[in-house]
Amino acid sequence: MRQTAPSRLSERRARSTAIARVVAVIAALAGPAWARSDRTLAYRRDQAWPAAVRFLVVDEHAKVTDKDADAGYVLFELRDDGKTYRGSLELATVIKDGRSVVRFVLQLADRPSWVELAMLARLEAKLRAELGSPSPPPSPPPAKEPEPPKKDAPSPDAPDQDDHAPKLSPTP
């Protein structure tokens, strides 16, 4: 028996609705990936390291599970709304605009990136409060002025002297 056009249309709608529901369930069940946020600030690493660890422990009430000042990382656990989230903070020295600065890389498991960005903003505020404003970038070197032409040298616009000299034919 042949189906009519309205029944085929309703079958397609039912199939599309079922597919949309499956996609929605998969999206809801999929856990968020580890986000990774960073900020580069013009502080010295030896000054920024202790301030960053104090920030995690005192300001954020994080439990430090592992840290290594030489390698520049802190592993920690952060409690929020009764749940514990694992995180890490890395400090890396990088050269930017010809000077040494610190890149702070923050990762929080199962948290959206805006949480990391807000945390980095609070860390920057703490660094400013404790260490002052970061040093400004170095000013560019002054542009060299072109050297004035030498008095003996012809100007670039002057015609060659050979152009106006009479041409002698070779003598036999």
Q: What is the DSSP string of 110-131?
A: TS-HHHHHHHHHHHHHHHHHHH
In angstroms, how far is CA 25 from the centroid of its own chain? 33
The pLDDT value given to residue 37: 93
Q: Which domain holds residue 119?
A: 36-131
Residue 99 maps to a domain: yes
Residue 19 maps to a domain: no
Residue 88 maps to a domain: yes
Structural domain count of the chain? 1
Residue 154 maps to a domain: no
Q: Which residue has the tokens 């856990």?
A: 31
Q: Using N-to-C axis directions, what is the helix angle for 45-54 and 113-131, rounded to 10°?
A: 120
The pLDDT value given to residue 155: 60
For residues 60 and 143, the answer to whether their CB atoms sit within 8 Å is no
The pLDDT value given to residue 78: 94
Residue 58 belongs to domain with CATH number: 3.30.310.80
The pLDDT value given to residue 52: 96
Residue 12 maps to a domain: no
Structure tokens of 109? 């498991």
The pLDDT value given to residue 24: 46
Residue 69 maps to a domain: yes
Average pLDDT by stretches of 10, the chain with 172 residues: 62 62 45 72 94 96 96 95 95 90 95 94 96 79 71 62 58 61
